[in-house]
Amino acid sequence: MSLRRLALLCFCVLLAACSKVTQENYQKLSAGMPKAEVESLLGKPTDCSGALGMSSCTWGDKTSFISVQYAGDKVLMFSGQGLK
């Protein structure tokens, strides 16, 4: 295996290990938390949608994710699945 491929493989493994979608971070979420604080904790969301002052953002993928629903700029409720 070339040195370049080995470096790329190591980078990918480290990137996957640094995911912020964890049980530990999920437990830090709370109702009323500002959106900026959630994004500081979890990073940029994978997907967001909303209308009329309500929005929903998701971090992660189909098997492991955190979903947060906002009313205005504050966390209304949140859920998670497949967290480690």
> pLDDT in tens for each of the 84 residues of the chain?
577 776 655 554 444 556 899 999 999 999 999 999 999 999 999 999 999 999 999 999 999 999 999 999 999 999 999 998
Its pTM stands at 0.79
Q: Which residue has the tokens 């967001």?
A: 48
Q: Does domain 19-81 have CATH number 3.40.50.1220?
A: no
**20-25: long-range pairs with CB below 8 Å, 24+:** 20/59, 21/59, 21/60, 21/64, 21/65, 21/66, 21/80, 21/83, 22/83, 22/84, 23/80, 23/83, 23/84, 25/66
pLDDT score recorded for residue 56:
98
The CB-side HSE value for 39 (13 A sphere, CA atoms) comes to: 13
